[in-house]
Structure 1
Amino acid sequence: MSHQHPADAQALTPAAAPATYTNPVVWQDFADGDVVRVGDTYYYSASTMHYSPGAPILRSYDLLTWEHAGHSVPRLDFDDERYDLVGGSRYVKGIWASAFGYRPGEATFYWYGCVELDRTYVWTAPAVEGPWTRKARIEAGYYDAGLLVDDDDTMYVAYGNTTISVAQLDATGTREVRSQVVFRTPPEIGVLEGARFYRKDGLYYLWLTRPANGQYVLRSRSPWGPYEIREVLLDLPGPIEGGGVPHQGGLVDTPDGDWWYMAFTDAYPGGRMPTLAPITWVDGWPVLRTVDGRWATDYPRPATAPARAVEPLTGADTFTAPTLAPRWEWNHNPDLSAVTPGDGLTLRAVTVTDDLYAARNTLTHRLQGPTSTVTIELDVSGMRAGDRAGLVMLRQTSAWVGVVRADDGTDRVVMTDGLTMDEQWATTSTGTERASAPLTGGRVWLRVQADIRPGADRQATFSWSTDGETFAPLGPAMTLEAAWQFFMGYRAGIFHHATRALGGSVTVRGFELTTP
Structure 2
Amino acid sequence: MRRRFPRWINIILGMVLTAGAPVVAGAAPAVAAGQYSNPVLWEDLADADVFRVGDTYYYSASTMHYSPGAPVLRSYDLVHWEFAGHSVPRLDFGSKYDLTGGRGYVRGVWASFLNYRPSNSTFYWGGCVDFNKTYLYTAKSVEGPWNQLTTINNCYYDAGLLVDDDDTMYVSYGNTNISVAQLSADGKTQVRTQQVFSSPSNIGTLEGSRFYKRNGSYYIFVTHPANGQYILKSTNGPFGPYTAHQVLLNMRSPISGGGVPHQGGLVQTQNGDWYYMAFVDAYPGGRVPVLAPVTWTSDGWPVVQTVNGGWGASYPFPNLPSHEVKPPTGVDTFAGTALGPEWEWNHNPDNTKWSVDNGLRLQTATVTNDLYSARDTLTHRILGPSSTATITLDYSGMKDGDRTGLALLRDSSAWIGVKRDGTNTKLAMVNNITMDGNWNTTNTGTEAASTTISGGRIWLRVTADIRPGTGRQGIFSYSTDGVTFRQLGPGFVMGNAWQFFMGYRFAVFNYATKSLGGTVTVPRFELSTP
TM-score, with normalisation over the residues of structure 2?
Answer: 0.93
1:191 to 198, 205, 209: 205
| SS state at 1:357 partner | helix
Structure 1 residues not aligned, in runs of 5+: 1-16
Aligned to 2:396: 381
1:208 aligns with 2:219: no
Deviations 1:356-409 (A, max 9, x none): 10000000000000011110000000000000000010000000000001112x
In structure 2, what residue type is equivalent to 1:164? I
The answer (yes or no) to whether the contact 1:265–1:275 under 8 Å persists in 2 is: yes
Match of 2:318 among 293, 302, 306: 302
Q: Distance in 1 between matches of 2:210 and 2:132?
A: 20
Moved over 4 A (4+): none
Does residue 355 (structure 1) correspond to residue 370 (structure 2)? The answer is yes
Partners of 1:342 and 1:54 lie apart in 2 by 23
1:156, 1:169 within 8 Å by CA — same for their partners in 2?
Answer: yes
The offset of 1:343, in angstroms, is 2.2
Tell me the residue number matched to 1:428. Answer: 442
CA deviations on 1:153-201 (whole Å, 9 max, x unpaired) are 1000000000000000000112100000000000011100000000001
Q: CA deviation at 1:297?
A: 0.3
1:132 aligns with 2:139: no
Task: Find out whether 1:285 has 2:296 as its counterpart.
Answer: no
How many angstroms does 1:271 deviate by?
0.4
How is 1:376-455 mapped onto 2 (pairs within 5 angstroms)?
Answer: 376-408=391-423, 410-455=424-469
Return the offset for 1:309. 1.2
In structure 1, how many angstroms separate the alpha carbons of the residues matched to 2:205 and 2:491? 39
2:143 aligns to what SS in structure 1?
coil
- Does 2:84 match 1:54? no
Query: For 2:97, what is the secondary structure of its paired residue?
Result: helix
User: Which of 132, 144, 156 matches 1:142?
Assistant: 156
- Asked if structure 1 preserves the Cα contact closer than 8 Å seen for 2:40 and 2:79, the reply is yes
2:507 maps to 1:487: no
1:232 matched residue in structure 2: 247
Distance in 1 of aligned mates of 2:481 and 2:334? 20
Offset, 1:455: 3.4
Is 1:471 the equivalent of 2:492?
A: no
Q: Is 1:270 matched with 2:285? A: yes
Letter in 2 for 1:339: W
What is the alpha-carbon distance in structure 2 between the residues aligned to residue 477 and residue 82 of structure 1? Answer: 33
Name the counterpart of 2:7: none
**Cα distance in structure 1, aligned partners of 2:40 and 2:139:** 27
Q: 2:284, 2:469 within 8 Å by CA — same for their partners in 1?
A: no
**What is the CA–CA distance in structure 2 between the aligned matches of 1:348 and 1:442, rounded to whole Å?**
16
Amino acid at match of 2:219: Y
Q: 1:87 & 1:21 partners in 2: Cα distance? A: 46
Cα distance per residue 1:126-163 (max 9 Å; x no partner): 00000100111111000001000001110000000000
Distance 1:165 1:76 in 2: 26
C-alpha separation between the residues in 1 aligned to 2:137 and 2:229?
Answer: 28
- Give distance in 2, aligned partners of 1:320 and 1:119: 38
The CA deviation at 1:118 is 1.8
| TM alignment of 1:102-141, pairs within 5 A | 102-141=116-155
Partner of 2:175: 161
Distance in 2 (CA, whole Å) between partners of 1:392 and 1:344 is 19
Q: Which residue of 2 aligns with 1:501?
A: 515
Deviation of 1:456 (Å): 6.2
Of 51, 58, 71, the residue aligned with 2:86 is 71
Residue 313 in structure 1 maps to residue 317 in structure 2? no
Alignment TM-score, normalising by the size of structure 1? 0.96
Contact 1:459 1:478 in 2 (8 A): yes
Q: Deviations over 1:196-249 (max 9, x none)?
A: 000001000010000000000011121111111110000001101000000000
For residues 398 and 80 of structure 2, the distance between their equivalents in structure 1, rounded to whole angstroms, comes to 40
The correspondence for 1:27, drawn from 42, 50, 54, is 42
Contact 1:241 1:455 survives alignment (8 Å): no
Tell me the amino acid that sits aligned with residue 309 of structure 2: G
What residue identity is the alignment partner of 2:185?
A: A
Instruction: Letter of the 1:76 partner, please give it.
Output: L
Q: CA deviation at 1:117?
A: 1.0
Point out the more displaced range, 193-202 or 338-347: 338-347
Contact 1:53 1:75 in 2 (8 A): yes
Q: Secondary structure, in 3 states, of the residue corresponding to 2:119?
A: helix
Over the aligned positions, Cα root-mean-square deviation in angstroms equals: 0.8
Aligned 8 A contact 1:67 1:311 in 2: yes
**Aligned 8 A contact 2:469 2:496 in 1:** no
SS in 1 for 2:372: helix
SS in 1 for 2:352: helix
Matched, 1:250 2:279: no
> Distance between the aligned counterparts of 1:316 and 1:48, measured in 2?
23
Which residue identity lines up with residue 355 of structure 1 in the other structure?
D
1:336 is displaced (CA, Å) by 1.0
Is the contact between residue 470 and residue 496 of structure 2 (CA under 8 Å) also seen in structure 1? no
Distance 1:174 1:211 in 2: 31
Q: Secondary structure at the match of 1:100?
A: strand
**Which letter does structure 2 place at the counterpart of 1:236?**
M
- Given residue 103 of structure 1, which amino acid in structure 2 is its aligned partner? R
Contact 2:73 2:81 in 1 (8 A): yes
Aligned residue in 1 for 2:28: none
Q: Which residue of 2 aligns with 1:4?
A: none
CA apart distance, 1:457:
3.4
> Is contact 1:451-1:457 (8 Å) kept?
no
Q: Which residue of 2 aligns with 1:13?
A: none
Give the Cα–Cα distance (whole angstroms) in 1 for the partners of residues 87 and 520 of structure 2. 29
Deviations 1:65-110 (A, max 9, x none): 00010000010011x1110000210000000100000000000000
Letter in 1 for 2:419: V
Q: Is the contact made by 2:284 and 2:496 (CA closer than 8 Å) also made in structure 1? A: yes
Structure 1 residue 287: Cα displacement: 0.7
* Preserved contact between residue 443 and residue 466 of structure 1 (Cα < 8 Å): yes
Out of 189, 193, 196, the residue aligned to residue 182 of structure 1 is 196
Letter in 2 for 1:92: V
Q: Tell me which residue corresponds to 1:39.
A: 54
Rounded Cα–Cα distance in structure 1 between residues aligned with 2:138 and 2:172? 19
SS of residue in 2 equivalent to 1:445 = strand
> Quick check: 2:470–2:495 contact (8 Å CA) kept in 1?
no
Task: State how far apart, in whole Å, the 2-side matches of 1:314 and 1:93 are.
Answer: 29
Identity among equivalent pairs (%) = 62
Matched residue, 1:220:
234
Q: CA deviation at 1:18?
A: 3.6
> Which residue of the other structure, out of 349, 353, 371, is the alignment partner of 1:338?
353
Paired letter, 2:372: Y
How far, CA to CA, are the matches of 2:192 and 2:238 in structure 1? 12
The one-letter code sitting in structure 1 at the alignment partner of 2:468 is P
* Residue identity opposite 2:230 in structure 1: Y
